[in-house]
Structure 1
C-alpha cells in the first residue's frame, strides 16, 4: 500500500480535502501516468457478481476490470471516493430494477444491504487530452462545462448471462490535418485503450445528434474537424441498468476513486513499426475513416505492385493510382453485404461469348468474403445466368466455394429500376448492398455502347448493370470498386482520361462509368486474388481487427484456419479454370478453349502470380 492510499484509508475526509486543494480539476484524471489511478465502481448483489465479471472480461477493452471486492472485505470509505465538498455533488447513483432512482452523498443508510454486495473496480476510460497536448491541440472542454458529452450507440457489447448493453462513447473533434498524429499519440499513450473505436460520421454509430449527448455536455465540432470516438466507462452504467437488479449502485458520473497502481494490469504502451496505426479515409458520404497498422499497409502496397505488371504491354502503368487496392480492401472489410459482377462477352461469334478472365477472380473474392461471414451476391447478364449458375454449382462441388452465391440479374427498364434494385425492401435509407465490385465487367463508353479492345460494339450482349454503379454514387452508404486491365471495364471511368491518352483505341473504348476505387491489374483475375489476400492481411492485423469490432467482445482468433482455406490457391484456381474450359469459356486474347487467361498459360504465368500474392500474405494454403 502506498503512503497516499494508507493515508486515504485512515483519514478519507482529510485526503479528499488534500486532493482538492492540490488539483481543482481532479475530476479529469484519466491522463494521470503515475501514482494512484482513477477508476469507477459498480456495486451488485453477490448473486450477479459472476455474470458481471464475465461480462467485463468479454468486453475487457471497453470495461477493464481492475479489482473485485467481496462482501465484508471492503469499506466504502477506504475506496477513497473523491467528492467536491464545495459543490455538494453526489458520489453515487442508485439503481432499482434497472432505473436510476436518485443520487446519494453516501451509502451509510444501506450498510445492511451492502453486506451481501460485491464491489467491482473498473478502469476509467482513456482520455485523449494528453495525446492532444502532444500534437499541439488546445483543450476543447464542453464550453467550460465539467462533464464532456457521452453518447449511447447502437453498437452492442458482447452479452453474458443477462448483462448486455450498447456501447457508450465519448467524442473529441480533431482537425483533419492532425488526425494521423493524434491517433498515433493516443495509441502510444494508452496502448490498445488509446485506440479510437470510430472516426467519422456519428450516424454510423447510431448517434443522431452530437449536440444532444445522453450524458454530460456537448462539445462543438468546428469546420474542418473530424469526430473521433473512444469508449466510455459509462458503458458499465448501461449494463447495470440493463440487468434490472433490484438494487445496485455506481459511482456518480463525475466522480472517481483512486486505486493503487499496483492493482492495475496496465495496457501495453508505446509503438513499434509493426503496430504504428495509420488512418485512411474510405468514404466521404458518409464520412468514414479506418485504422490499420503500418506493416499491414506495406504488405497491401506490395500486393498492388505485384499485380500491376503489364504482360500484354497495354500501357496500364499509366492508369495506376496509388493505394486504390488499400482503400478498396478497407472499404470491403467494413462492408456487410457485397454485390459482385463480372462478364465480358468479347467472343461475340462464339457461344458462350464469355472469357476466362473475370469469373475466377470474382469467385475467389466471393470465397474470402464468405469466410469473413459477409453476405455475397453476384449479378450477371440474363443471357449468361445459366452458365454462371453451372460455374457456381461446380465451384461448390469442387471446394472452390464453401457455399453457393445467390445469382441475380438486372435488365433496367426505368429510371427508378436501379434504385429499387439497390434499396432494401424499398427503403431509400437502407441499402441492400454496401459495396459493389466489378471484376472484368464490360463497361459503358461515353457514347452508350460497350466495346471490346478491338473497338467492336458488344452492346447487344450486355445488360445495363452500369446503372447500378451510377445510382450507387447517389446513395450514401454504398461504395464501389472496379477491377480492370484495359480501361474498357466497368469502374474504369475513374481513370478514363489516362485510358484515352495511353491505351490503344482508348478514345473509343474507355469506360465512362466510375467506381470509388479503381484497381488496375495486368490480368483482372489478379485483382480479385489480390483483394482476397488484402482482406486476409487486414483481418489478421490486430490494430484493424480491434477497430472493426469497436473493441467490444473478445478478439477474433487471428489467422483462422477457414480464412486460410478460403484464400486463392494454385489448386483452387486450376479447378476453377478447368470448370470454365468444360463449359467452353475462352481465353480473352487468343480465343483458345484451354488452360490460359488473356493468352497467358496458367501453369507458368498465373501460378507464379498466385504464389507471389500468397507469399506476401505469409500463408501457404
Structure 2
C-alpha cells in the first residue's frame, strides 16, 4: 500500500523535476528527516550502500542549518515542498515544516547526493532519464531494507565510454553507472512502463545506461515504517551553494574501460585500465607456440579479457575437459586439460560461484580420483560436483542446461571447455594425428551448441591446436595454418576462444585474470551494483586459490601416478605436451603470478 502512495506522489511531480528543478551550475541534494533514534542505523545504511546513497551531511538533532552545503539554509523551508510519512504511509504534502518545529527538535536531517547533478557533465537533457525499481537488494541495516532504485539514460553506443568517464569521479552524485545493457538483468521487465514518470524511447544505436538513485533511501525509510518522517517532494530538492565543476580523473589505473560481453542479452562490463593491461599481458604470455604448431595464426587478442569479464558476472559455471588422444592406453586421457580446468575451478570456488565439471561417462572414476587428489594437495578447497551427459532425446541438452527444459531458468550462466575433444565438421573427433577417437567421446559439444540458442548462457573454449571444443570460432585459421587442420578442426564455436601454447596455461591465465578482476575496485563496484561493501577483504582467499608451482607440481605427479600421460609423447614423466614441467611449465606459472601480484 505504501508503494502506491509513494509512486502516486512522485508521478504527480515528475514532469516538474525533469523540466523545472535543475538549478544551473548548483548541486542539489535529496533530503530525508528521521527521528534521532533511527539516525545511526540510517547512517550505517547509507555507508553500507554508499554508491547509491552518497551522504553529504547528517545534521544533529534539531539542527536546522547546513552551512557546509548552504550558508543561508533552514531545513524547514529549504525545499519548495515536502512529503510527510507516518508509519510508512504518505499522508500529505507540505510547503513548509515550520509547523513541525517542535517535533524536528528530536529529528535528524540527511542530505544525499543526486545524479541530476551530472546532467551538465553528461551533456544530455535531463528529461531523457527515467526512474524505476530493480530486483537488486541493497545491503540491509536493522529495519532499513529495500531494493535499488535506478535512473536510466539512453546513451549512443559511440559515447558509452565517454559517459562513464564523465561520471566515474563524481562520487557525491553516484559516480559511474551500475549497469549497461539489458534492463532485464536488473529485474526491470519493461522500460516502456517505468515506476515513475514517462517512458523513455531508445533510438537506433542507443544503449540503456543505469545509475543508482538516492530515491532508494526514501524507499528504505518507507519500509522502515517510522512513526514520522519527512522527505522533499520530487523535483523540489535542497539546493546547495556547491557548483557542478568539472572533475579531473585520477591516475590512468583508475580510468574505467567498457566492454561488451554479451549480445543476447545485451550486457557490458567495466574494469580499470590497469586491470585491462594486466589481463592483456597474461594473454600475451600464454600466446607463445613452444610446440611450433602454428597457433600464432589462431590468436584473437582480447578474448581472454571478455571471457573472464563474462565469467566474473556468472553465478554458476560448468567446466569440461578431457582429450582421449592415447586410444591405445588406459586411461586414454592426456595430462593437458585437467590441471588447467582445476585451476579455473579453484578460483571460481574462491569467488563463491557454483561450479561443476561434466565429463565422459567412461572417465567418471578417473575424474573422481583426480578431484580427490586435488583436494588433498590443496588445489581445490572442496570437491566439485562431477556430472556426465548423454544424448537421450532431441531436447537432452536443453534439459541438462535448464530447469525443466525452460530456457528462462538456466542452471548455468557460463560453459568452459579446456582441452576438450571437439567435434569436426564430419561429426567425428580427431586427435592431432588425424585419428578418429569418436568412440571415446561423449557428445558434450551438444551443450555448447544448445547454449548458442539460450539467452544468458555464454561459452568459452580453451585450446592449443584447433581440434578442441570451442575452437570452431577460429576454424578457418585452423584449416589454413594447422597440420591436418582441414580434417581435425573443431566445428563447434564458443563465444570466446582462448588460445594458448599449452591449454593448461590458458586455464592458469583465466584463474589469474579472475583474480585481477576481483581485486579491481572499478569492476568490483560494477559487479555488486554499488550496493554493499567492497569484496577486497577476501583478497587473501583469492590469492590462495591461484595456481602455484608447488601445487601444479604435486598435481602433475598425482596424474603420473594415475597413468595420465603427456599429450605428444605419451610418456609418464613430469611433462605436458612433451614439454618438461621444470623450467617450462613452472616458469610460465611464475610469470603469470608475477604479473598479477606486482
Structure 1-normalised TM-score?
Answer: 0.89
SS of the equivalent of 2:423 reads: coil
Q: For 1:381-460, what aligned pairs fall within 5 Å after superposition?
A: 381-460=360-439
Q: Is structure 2 residue 258 aligned with structure 1 residue 279?
A: yes
Q: Is structure 2 residue 200 aligned with structure 1 residue 193?
A: no
Q: Is structure 2 residue 528 aligned with structure 1 residue 549?
A: yes
Alignment-derived partner of residue 56 in structure 1: 46
Per mean C-alpha deviation after superposition, the further-off stretch among 604-613 and 187-196 is 187-196
Alignment-derived partner of residue 10 in structure 1: none
Per mean C-alpha deviation after superposition, the further-off stretch among 371-380 and 62-71 is 62-71
Contact 1:79–1:258 (8 Å) recurs in 2: no
Q: Is structure 2 residue 153 aligned with structure 1 residue 172?
A: yes
SS of the equivalent of 2:115 reads: coil
Per mean C-alpha deviation after superposition, the further-off stretch among 423-432 and 482-491 is 423-432
SS of the equivalent of 1:431 reads: coil
Q: What's the C-alpha RMSD, in Å, of the aligned pairs?
A: 2.2
Contact 1:191–1:270 (8 Å) recurs in 2: no
Alignment-derived partner of residue 322 in structure 1: 301
Q: Is structure 2 residue 512 aligned with structure 1 residue 533?
A: yes
SS of the equivalent of 1:415 reads: coil
Q: For 1:2-401, what aligned pairs fall within 5 Å after superposition?
A: 27-29=21-23, 32=25, 37-74=27-64, 78-79=74-75, 81=77, 91-125=81-115, 127-133=117-123, 138-139=124-125, 141-142=127-128, 148-188=129-169, 193-259=174-240, 261=242, 270-401=249-380
Distance 2:592 2:101 in 1: 65
Distance 1:261 1:559 in 2: 37
2:496 paired residue among 513, 517, 522? 517
Contact 2:574–2:580 (8 Å) recurs in 1: yes
Distance 2:246 2:134 in 1: 25
- How far has the Cα of 1:193 moved from its partner? 3.3
State the aligned residue count. Answer: 576
How has the CA–CA distance of structure 1 residues 517 and 601 changed in structure 2, closer, same or farther, with 3 Å as cutoff?
A: same
How has the CA–CA distance of structure 1 residues 232 and 191 changed in structure 2, closer, same or farther, with 3 Å as cutoff?
A: closer
Per mean C-alpha deviation after superposition, the further-off stretch among 550-559 and 301-310 is 550-559
Distance 1:448 1:269 in 2: 57
SS of the equivalent of 2:330 reads: coil
Distance 2:131 2:311 in 1: 29
Contact 1:126–1:194 (8 Å) recurs in 2: no
Contact 1:328–1:517 (8 Å) recurs in 2: yes
How has the CA–CA distance of structure 1 residues 267 and 383 changed in structure 2, closer, same or farther, with 3 Å as cutoff?
A: farther
Alignment-derived partner of residue 475 in structure 1: 454
Q: What runs of 5+ residues in structure 1 fail to find an aligned partner?
A: 1-22, 85-90, 143-147
Contact 2:150–2:210 (8 Å) recurs in 1: yes
Contact 2:379–2:551 (8 Å) recurs in 1: yes
Q: What runs of 5+ residues in structure 2 fail to find an aligned partner?
A: 1-16, 67-72
How has the CA–CA distance of structure 1 residues 380 and 344 changed in structure 2, closer, same or farther, with 3 Å as cutoff?
A: same
Contact 2:57–2:112 (8 Å) recurs in 1: yes
Distance 1:505 1:191 in 2: 60
How has the CA–CA distance of structure 1 residues 96 and 363 changed in structure 2, closer, same or farther, with 3 Å as cutoff?
A: same
Alignment-derived partner of residue 574 in structure 1: 553
Contact 2:27–2:117 (8 Å) recurs in 1: no
Alignment-derived partner of residue 4 in structure 1: none
- How far has the Cα of 1:398 moved from its partner? 1.3
Distance 2:215 2:530 in 1: 15
- How far has the Cα of 1:44 moved from its partner? 1.3
Contact 1:190–1:268 (8 Å) recurs in 2: no
Deviations 1:252-302 (A, max 9, x none): 11111134549x9x9985232111111100000000000111111111111
- How far has the Cα of 1:391 moved from its partner? 0.6
Distance 1:486 1:99 in 2: 65
Per mean C-alpha deviation after superposition, the further-off stretch among 319-328 and 186-195 is 186-195
Alignment-derived partner of residue 18 in structure 1: none
How has the CA–CA distance of structure 1 residues 69 and 551 changed in structure 2, closer, same or farther, with 3 Å as cutoff?
A: same
Distance 1:331 1:192 in 2: 28
How has the CA–CA distance of structure 1 residues 299 and 81 changed in structure 2, closer, same or farther, with 3 Å as cutoff?
A: farther
Deviations 1:200-225 (A, max 9, x none): 00110011111211123322211110
Per mean C-alpha deviation after superposition, the further-off stretch among 60-69 and 535-544 is 60-69
- How far has the Cα of 1:539 moved from its partner? 1.1
- How far has the Cα of 1:110 moved from its partner? 3.2
Distance 1:81 1:590 in 2: 83
Deviations 1:58-90 (A, max 9, x none): 111211112222333226971375666xxxxxx
Contact 1:368–1:532 (8 Å) recurs in 2: yes
- How far has the Cα of 1:123 moved from its partner? 1.9
How has the CA–CA distance of structure 1 residues 448 and 534 changed in structure 2, closer, same or farther, with 3 Å as cutoff?
A: same
Contact 1:80–1:257 (8 Å) recurs in 2: no
Q: Is structure 2 residue 568 aligned with structure 1 residue 592?
A: no
Contact 1:278–1:294 (8 Å) recurs in 2: yes
Distance 2:293 2:278 in 1: 26
SS of the equivalent of 1:428 reads: coil
